[in-house]
Amino acid sequence: MRTDRTHRDGSDGSGGLEALTRDFQALRDATERDLPDIHQTIHHAAQRLEARDVSREGILMTTIERITNRPWWATAAVASAIAIVLLFVPVSYERTLGQEVSISLTGDLAGDAVPVIADAFRAAMGVPQIRLEVGETTTLAARLPGRSRAEASAMGRAFASRLEPKGIRATTAVSPWTEKISGNVYAQVGSRWRDLRVETQGRSEAQVEKEVQAQLQQLGFLNPEVTFRREGDTTKLGIKAGGPDDEIQAKLERKVTGGNGQEPPIEMGLPDFSDLDGLPDDQIKAEVEKRLRERGLEAEVQVQNGKIQVKVRKEVRQ
Amino acid sequence: MIAARLGERWGPFIRLLAPLHDQALLTARRLCRSSAEGDDLFQEAVLRAYEKLPTLRDPSRFRSWFYAVLLSLHRGRSRRAFWRRFVPIADLIAAGDEPVGEDGRQGEEERQRAERASRALAGLPAVQREAVVLHDIEGFSMQEIAVMQAVTVSAVKTRVVRGRTKLRACYRRWGLGPRVRGAASGAAAAGTASGSEALAEPIGSSTTGMRRETS
């Protein structure tokens, strides 16, 4: 194992941050516990493969998974005209996080049998915790992230079959585990864009700045600095956030034509370009421009020493 | 009989995977927020690698090829995990994974440290997290990581330095960092010209790492 290397100079190598050094060591130790051997790994992988092979749903899930892994496939699949329209249409949607598999136990259950079965169930499902309901029927339920229905069902049935020789009858049920998200259409196809939506009508510049700042903080940006200015029929929004190494700068200049002086809300996508870290500036610029184009935005992009500045110009007609 | 059938079908793959199984599994666990999540990622990587094995031209490159598969899946999951920012952190912590030490107090301290490191790493962008875990925790060389991440060595160095800088900033925010003259100056030093010096040794490979923290 490579984890016991020592430093030539005897220092902790963390620039004086000993807590981090010790925490890394603790993480090494913690993750080395209960390591499954290769045969267990292959057994589980084979089970997953089998479940995938026997189910058309499995094939569908694989496709969906591939699309969600590569959001731009999905983006590209949407006709650009529709995409531009939908870009600024917030929608609510429900997404499936995985499956909940539950096992109902009937038969002769001795007093201490349930905790033992619950432990075994938790281990078999590979999850940190399960739900246990004890009543006329004892039910164990586990949420399996990222699993297809077929996979979850196969895992549940495999566990139930292990109980049969012990005289315990178990019935398996699988239901989707979902969550409801409010976002815009791009959040569905690729969560690498973080979207802001701010009502400006009837609000002062300072109020808009404060609102944008709060949203940026909620989205996880550090130290956001926001400027919002109105100049005639043009509004300008400037954003600067992050630390010295991951600073993000974005400017939005908007000219509203018509609308009887009504200001539509500002809607802006802040992309996560962290996967471009370490690439040469010209490659970063090209990739950023490509991604912005794919999203239907005309933008001026500047990259200097890995720092990206995006300026979007868009005219809104009402 | 089942084992024999598995062996027949998976045999060649098992022979390639066996030498790196434990280490790659540990890497997967350290990249994720919990061991269970890491095991799941690893199983998925095993399955993906098994299915794509015919595309591997040179079996001697299996190690780096398998890691590339693992890291690709990890990045995919990280993108999907964006919305988890809004899930309470307690839901993501594997309560069942609590290690039990001979000394209960020490075990609890160790658990908290591991959890803290895991939480800090989870705050990094996926590519930086990979670079830091592979270099500072697993001990891979920059060249090895460059092959796994399919980028240049200098890109890996940048990722490691930026990742470390963010980790230190995170620890300072948690009140665990040294009293420095200015946080920004420390971060800048680690991220710019002195990067190659800073990279001379990985974080966290100290043999004195088991000392108790008294803060």
Lowest mean pLDDT segment, chosen from A86-90, B36-40, B115-119, B177-181: A86-90
Contact A13 B204 (CB under 8 A): yes
* Residue B38 and residue A32 in contact, taking contact as beta carbons nearer than 8 Å: no
Check whether residue A196 and residue A90 sit in a common domain.
no
Q: Is A14 on the interface with B (CB under 8 A)?
A: yes
Supply the mean pLDDT for chain A: 69
Q: Which of B61, B82, B103 is the last residue of a domain?
A: B82
Contact B201 A11 (CB under 8 A): yes
> What backbone torsions phi and psi does residue B130 show, to the nearest 5 degrees?
-60, -45
Check whether residue A65 and residue A137 sit in a common domain.
yes
* Euclidean distance between CA atoms B99 and A31, whole angstroms: 9
Our count of domains for chain A comes to: 2
- Mean pLDDT calculated for residue range B181-192: 34
pTM of the model: 0.45
Check whether residue A145 and residue A59 sit in a common domain.
yes
Confidence of residue B208 (pLDDT cuts 50, 70, 90): very low
Tell me what percent of the residues of chain A surpass a pLDDT of 90.
2
Check whether residue B144 and residue B78 sit in a common domain.
no
Q: ipTM value, please give it.
A: 0.73
* Euclidean distance between CA atoms A286 and B107, whole angstroms: 50
Window B:45-64, CB contacts with A under 8 Å? 46-47, 50-51
Q: Determine, yes or no, domain membership for A198.
A: yes
Check whether residue A73 and residue A158 sit in a common domain.
yes
The CATH number covering residue B35 comes to 1.10.1740
Q: Determine, yes or no, domain membership for B177.
A: yes
Lowest mean pLDDT segment, chosen from A11-20, A75-84, B7-16, B32-41: A75-84
* Euclidean distance between CA atoms B27 and A31, whole angstroms: 9
* Residue B42 and residue A134 in contact, taking contact as beta carbons nearer than 8 Å: no
* Residue B207 and residue A14 in contact, taking contact as beta carbons nearer than 8 Å: no
Our count of domains for chain B comes to: 2
Check whether residue A43 and residue A176 sit in a common domain.
yes
Check whether residue A64 and residue A176 sit in a common domain.
yes
Q: Determine, yes or no, domain membership for B208.
A: no
Q: Determine, yes or no, domain membership for B35.
A: yes
* Euclidean distance between CA atoms A210 and A226, whole angstroms: 8
Domain housing B193: 124-202
Check whether residue B78 and residue B134 sit in a common domain.
no
Q: Determine, yes or no, domain membership for B187.
A: yes
The winner for highest mean pLDDT among A28-42, A64-78, A267-281 is A28-42
Predicted pLDDT of residue A16: 46
Choice between A170 and B143, residue whose per-residue pLDDT is larger: B143
Residues 6+ apart with CB under 8 A from A26: B110, B111, B113, B114, B117, B209
Q: Determine, yes or no, domain membership for A61.
A: yes
pLDDT digits (tens, 9 = 90+) for B136-145: 999 999 999 9
Window B:127-156, CB contacts with A under 8 Å? 127-128, 136-140, 151-152, 154-156
Check whether residue A161 and residue A200 sit in a common domain.
no
Closest by CA position to A24, among listed B36, B71, B206:
B206
> What backbone torsions phi and psi does residue A9 show, to the nearest 5 degrees?
-95, 5
Predicted pLDDT of residue B79: 64
pLDDT digits (tens, 9 = 90+) for A23-36: 899 999 888 888 88
In which residue are the tokens 């030498």 written?
B19
Choice between A78 and B14, residue whose per-residue pLDDT is larger: B14
Q: Which of B82, B109, B142 is the last residue of a domain?
A: B82
Predicted pLDDT of residue A269: 67
The CATH number covering residue B165 comes to 1.10.10
Predicted pLDDT of residue A250: 67
pLDDT at position B192 over 50 = no
Domain housing A123: 39-180
Tell me what percent of the residues of chain B surpass a pLDDT of 90.
28
Q: Determine, yes or no, domain membership for B60.
A: yes
Q: Which of B13, B48, B82 is the last residue of a domain?
A: B82
pLDDT at position A279 over 60 = yes
Q: Determine, yes or no, domain membership for B18.
A: yes
Q: Is A4 on the interface with B (CB under 8 A)?
A: yes
In which residue are the tokens 């200001």 written?
A263
Helix (H) or strand (E) run with residue A196 in it: strand A193-198
Write out the DSSP string of B143-212: HHHHHHHTS-HHHHHHHHHHHHHHHHHHHHHTT-S---S-HHHHHHHHHTTTHHHHTTS-TT--TTTTSP
Confidence of residue A261 (pLDDT cuts 50, 70, 90): low
Q: Which of A156, A180, A204 is the last residue of a domain?
A: A180
Predicted pLDDT of residue B33: 81
Check whether residue A201 and residue A313 sit in a common domain.
yes
Predicted pLDDT of residue A242: 65
Within 8 A of B35 by CB-CB distance, chain A residues are: 30-31, 33-34
Closest by CA position to A109, among listed A122, A118, A100, A101:
A118
pLDDT at position A109 over 70 = yes
Choice between A106 and B162, residue whose per-residue pLDDT is larger: B162
In which residue are the tokens 């915790």 written?
A129
